[in-house]
Structure 1
Amino acid sequence: MTERMHLHETLDGQRFWDDVQALATIGALEPKGIRRLALDAQDNRARLWLAEQGRSLGCQVYFDALGNLFLRREGQDATLAPLLIGSHLDSQPQAGAHDGALGVLAGLAILRTLHEQGIEYRRPLEVVSWTNEEGARFAPGASGSSWFAGQRAYDEIVAAVDGDGVRFGDALQQCLTLLQESGLSYRPDPFVPHAFIELHIEQGPVLEQLGKPVGVVNGIQGVNWYRIEVEGMANHAGTTPRQARRDAFDGAHDLVAALKAATREQDDDLRFTIGKFSLWPDSVNTIAQRATFTIDLRHPDAQVLDALDRQFHALAERQWSGCDVTLEVTSRVAPVAFPEPLLSVLRESAGSVCAETPELVSGAFHDAIHLAHVCPTAMLFTPCRAGISHHPDEHIERQDADIAARALAEAASRLLK
C-alpha cells in the first residue's frame, strides 16, 4: 500500500457485502428475516462461521468465559493493548439481518483488507462478537459485554432462565464445549482494550431523513427495566358485584395511567414502553387475580431516570383498585457520553468518506454502553429504511453500508498507528 493510499480505499466492498449476504443465511426465516437467539443452534453456527473466516485470514481466534468471540490480528508490538471493533450476532425472534451483524462484518472486512494487502500496524486489532446483546432469550441483554466490562457478575448472568426453562449457564456450557471442540483457544479473563468502536444500524429514522450514509454517535441513553405485578383476587366474572371486586386488570390499568402521567412531565427525549403484559389465570369468565407487565424506560439524562424511578416506586407502594403492587428493577444501565478525543477521530474519519456527517444520541442501548466504563468508546451509525429494526422488514442500502464500513476502517487505521 502506498503512503497516499488510505485503508478505507483498499477495503473490498464486494467481499464485505458477500459476507453480509452469507451470514444472513444462518438462521434465515421464510419469506424473510432471521432468528438467531442467544446461544441457540443458529447463534452457535454463526459463531463457528465467524471463527472460520477469522482463521482463514491468519487470525488467532479466542473465546472467553461468556462465549464472547475474538478474532485477533497481531500488531508490530504485541505488548500494546489492542483496538477492539465489533458488535453482536444474536437477534430478536423475528429480526432483520443487519442489527449487530453489520458491525461484526465491517470489522471482518477490515481484517481481510489488512491480510490481503499485507498491511501492518503497530497495535494489534481484535474483532469481537459479544454474547446475548439482544436479551430476547435471556434477559437482560448485553450479557457478554457487561461481564467483560465488570458491570454484571458472572453468577447473576448464568442464573437467567429462558421461556422454556433452559438456564443460561447450561446453554453457555454447550456453546463453550462446541467452541473448544472446534479448536479455538480459551482466554478466560477480560482485558483493557486501547479503545472500542462499534458500527451499528441506526434503528431510527434520522439519518435516512437527512440523506446521510453515516453518523457519529456521541452518547447512549440510559435505560431502566421494570417488572411489575398487580395482585388481586380471582372470582366469578358473572356473579361478583363491582364493589366486591379486586380486579388485577383494573388495578394495572389505573397504575399504568398514573405511570404514563408521570412521564408526560418530561421532555420528548423520554421513551416509555410496556412490552409485555399478561393476566392470570387467563380465563374468559374469571376476574384476573394477577397482572404482570414490563416497562422499558429510557432517557439520556441520569437525573431524569432517577427522578422517575422514585416516582415509580412511590406509585407502586399504593393500592390500585384494591390490589397490591410489587415493583422489581430488573436492569439499570446509566447513560454514557463518549469521550471527545475519540469522537474527533470518528468525525475526521467519517469526513474522509462522506460530507456533513451528523451527530446523534443513540436511543437504543448497545454493547458500547458497557465498554465505555473500561476504555475510550464511541459508535458510528448507518441508516436503515424507515428506521425499522427488530423486524424482518429491516433493510439497509448497500452503498450506505459500504461508506460506513470505510469510515470505520479509516478510524481503525488512525487508532492502530
Structure 2
Amino acid sequence: MPGTDKLRIDIERFWSTIERSAEIGPGRPGGLSRLALTDADRQMRDQFVTWCREAGLAVRIDGIGNIFARRAGTDDTLPPVVMGSHLDTQINGGRFDGIAGVLGGLEVCRTLDVLGHHTHRPIEIVNWTNEEGARFSPPMVGSGCFVGTYALDWAQGRRDDDGQSIGEELARIGYLGEMEAEPHAFDAYFEFHIEQGYYLDRDGMQVGVVTGGFPSTGMLVEFKGETAHTGPWPMERRRNALLAGARLLVETDEIGWAYASGGGKATAARLIAWPNKPGILSDWAQAVCDVRHPDPETALAMAERLRRAVGEAAARSGCTAEILDTWNWGGRIFSEELIGSVRETSLGLGYRTQDILSQAGHDAYFVARHAPTTMIFAPCKGGITHNNAELCTREDLEPGLNVLLNAVVARADR
C-alpha cells in the first residue's frame, strides 16, 4: 500500500467533475460528442473556467482558444509547472479521453488549496484547443500553434465540413482570446491521460510511465479529376477522384498489415468527394491517412511507402494528387529527468508501474518541443477509447492522479 507520508487527491471530488463533464455534449449512450468549438464545447469551457475561478486561479485565453489557469507560486516570477490536456471529444467519444488530464490538473490545485500548500513555482493548467481534429484537421492544432509549428493565421483559417473556420467559431463562442498564441516559458509539462490501449489493463498495472510515442506520420491528400457520365464515358478516359482516394486508403491498410507483426499500424481515416452522387464521376476528393510504428526507422519506411502510394493512386485513376498537409509526431521526445521523476514517484507510492510507449497522438508531443515534458497513463477497461463504451473507474484513475500530484509538487517546489 502507498505510504502515509505522500499527498493524496480527493477522488470523490475529482469524480464529481468527471460526472458533470459527462452531462455536457452527450453522444451515444454513456459517451460524449463534444466536438471542438461547438456549443457543447463552449458550455464545457465555461464550466471549466468557472471551476478555475472558484479555485482562485487566474484565467487567460490565447488567440487559438487555449485556456491557461494559473495558481501563483511563492516566487511568481519563475516559469510555471504546467499540467494539461483537452476537453473536446471525438464524434463518438468517451468521458475520460483528455478530460481526465484537464480535470486532474484542477484536482491537484484544489488539493493544494485544502492542504494550504503554496508551491515555490507557479502551477498552470491548460486546456488545448482541437486536440482531436474531429471537426478541424489536423489534430492538436492548439498545442501546435502554441509552440510555433503552425502559424496562427493558418490555424485560425482551418475549416470544418460546413465551411466554418476555427477563428470564426472561436469568436462565436467567446473564446478568441487576446493573449498571444505563442510560447510563454514552461518549467515542465505533465500530461495525465488514459492509456488508450489495453496493456496496463491486461497486465494489472496501475500507472504507465510514458517513455515516448510511436513515431507517426499523417497526411491530408487532395485528388482532382473530371466529372463525366458513368454510363457512356469509356474506362480509359475516366478521371475519377473518388476512386483515387479509395485506392490510396486501401493501400494504406495494406501498409499497416505489412508491418503489423512488429507493432505497426496504418489507418484509412477519412474520404470525402464531390459530387459523390450516382450517375456521375467525382472530380474532387480528399483522403486522410496515417502510419505509425514503435521503431523510428520502420516508421520512416512506412511513411515513404505511403507517399509513393499517393502518386500511384492518382496515376492509376487518371487524376492529379497533392499532399495538402503532413503531420509528424512521436519518438523519444520526453524528458528523461521527468520520466525518472514519474517512475520514482509511482514506485514510492507503492503502485504497480510499467514503462510504456504511447500509440496515440497527444498535445504533449508538441509541447515537448518547447519544454521538458512527460506523460502519466492510467489504465482503461480493455483499451477501448474513441467509443462511447470507453470506461475507467475511480480505482483506475486514482493512482495516476496521486502520481501527478506528487510529481508536480516536487517539481514546483524546487
Q: TM-score, normalised by structure 1?
A: 0.89
Mapped to 2, the partners of 1:67 and 1:248 lie a distance apart of 35
1:71-150 → structure 2 map (5 Å cutoff): 71-150=69-148
Q: 1:365 to 1:110 in 2, by over 3 A?
A: same
Q: Which residue in the other structure is 2:5 paired with?
A: 5
Q: Which residue in the other structure is 1:204 paired with?
A: 197
Q: Secondary structure at the match of 2:193?
A: strand
Mapped to 2, the partners of 1:47 and 1:359 lie a distance apart of 33
Mapped to 2, the partners of 1:360 and 1:110 lie a distance apart of 24
Mapped to 2, the partners of 1:188 and 1:230 lie a distance apart of 33
Q: Which residue in the other structure is 1:383 paired with?
A: 379
Equivalent pair of 1:222/1:365 in contact (CA under 8 Å) = no
1:336 equivalent in alignment to 2:331? yes
Q: Which residue in the other structure is 1:183 paired with?
A: none
1:168-247 → structure 2 map (5 Å cutoff): 168-176=166-174, 186=179, 189-240=182-233, 242=235, 245-247=238-240
Equivalent pair of 2:79/2:187 in contact (CA under 8 Å) = yes
1:346-357 → structure 2 map (5 Å cutoff): 346-357=342-353
Greater Cα offset, 309-318 or 372-381: 309-318
Greater Cα offset, 158-167 or 310-319: 310-319
Mapped to 2, the partners of 1:377 and 1:401 lie a distance apart of 20
Mapped to 1, the partners of 2:190 and 2:396 lie a distance apart of 18
Q: 1:313 to 1:331 in 2, by over 3 A?
A: closer
Query: Cα distance, 1:297 vs. partner?
Result: 1.8
Equivalent pair of 2:83/2:190 in contact (CA under 8 Å) = yes
Q: 1:147 to 1:239 in 2, by over 3 A?
A: closer
1:395-414 → structure 2 map (5 Å cutoff): 395-414=391-410
Mapped to 2, the partners of 1:248 and 1:131 lie a distance apart of 32
Greater Cα offset, 30-39 or 12-21: 30-39
From 289, 301, 305, give the equivalent of 1:307.
Answer: 301
Query: Cα distance, 1:146 vs. partner?
Result: 1.2
Q: 1:336 to 1:192 in 2, by over 3 A?
A: farther
Q: 1:172 to 1:222 in 2, by over 3 A?
A: farther
Greater Cα offset, 92-101 or 237-246: 237-246
Q: 1:329 to 1:265 in 2, by over 3 A?
A: farther
Q: Secondary structure at the match of 2:353?
A: coil
Query: Cα distance, 1:251 vs. partner?
Result: 4.8
From 266, 276, 280, give the equivalent of 2:270.
Answer: 276
Equivalent pair of 1:83/1:126 in contact (CA under 8 Å) = yes
Letter of the 1:63 partner, please give it: I
Q: 1:238 to 1:35 in 2, by over 3 A?
A: same
Query: Cα distance, 1:317 vs. partner?
Result: 3.6
Equivalent pair of 1:80/1:124 in contact (CA under 8 Å) = yes
Query: Cα distance, 1:363 vs. partner?
Result: 0.8
Q: 1:44 to 1:233 in 2, by over 3 A?
A: closer
Q: Which residue in the other structure is 2:63 paired with?
A: 65
Equivalent pair of 1:226/1:327 in contact (CA under 8 Å) = no
Equivalent pair of 1:313/1:327 in contact (CA under 8 Å) = no
Query: Cα distance, 1:122 vs. partner?
Result: 1.0
Q: Secondary structure at the match of 2:405?
A: helix
Q: 1:42 to 1:317 in 2, by over 3 A?
A: closer
Q: 1:229 to 1:150 in 2, by over 3 A?
A: closer
Mapped to 1, the partners of 2:57 and 2:245 lie a distance apart of 54
Equivalent pair of 2:63/2:176 in contact (CA under 8 Å) = no
Q: Which residue in the other structure is 2:354 paired with?
A: 358
1:10-64 CA-to-partner distances (Å, cap 9, x unmatched) read x211111111111111112353311221112111111121111111122212222
Mapped to 2, the partners of 1:79 and 1:220 lie a distance apart of 33
Q: Secondary structure at the match of 1:358?
A: strand
Mapped to 1, the partners of 2:284 and 2:363 lie a distance apart of 34
Q: Which residue in the other structure is 2:364 paired with?
A: 368
Any unmatched runs of 5+ in structure 1? 181-185
Q: Secondary structure at the match of 2:220?
A: strand
Q: 1:286 to 1:371 in 2, by over 3 A?
A: same
From 400, 412, 416, give the equivalent of 2:412.
Answer: 416
Q: TM-score, normalised by structure 2?
A: 0.90
Query: Cα distance, 1:285 vs. partner?
Result: 3.7
Q: How many residues align?
A: 408
1:345 equivalent in alignment to 2:337? no
Q: Secondary structure at the match of 1:415?
A: helix
Query: Cα distance, 1:322 vs. partner?
Result: 4.9
Q: 1:238 to 1:143 in 2, by over 3 A?
A: closer
Query: Cα distance, 1:102 vs. partner?
Result: 0.2
Q: 1:16 to 1:314 in 2, by over 3 A?
A: closer
Q: Secondary structure at the match of 2:262?
A: coil
From 288, 291, 296, give the equivalent of 1:297.
Answer: 291
Equivalent pair of 1:83/1:194 in contact (CA under 8 Å) = yes
Any unmatched runs of 5+ in structure 2? none
Equivalent pair of 1:88/1:104 in contact (CA under 8 Å) = yes
Q: Which residue in the other structure is 1:46 paired with?
A: 44
Equivalent pair of 1:76/1:123 in contact (CA under 8 Å) = yes
Letter of the 2:57 partner, please give it: C
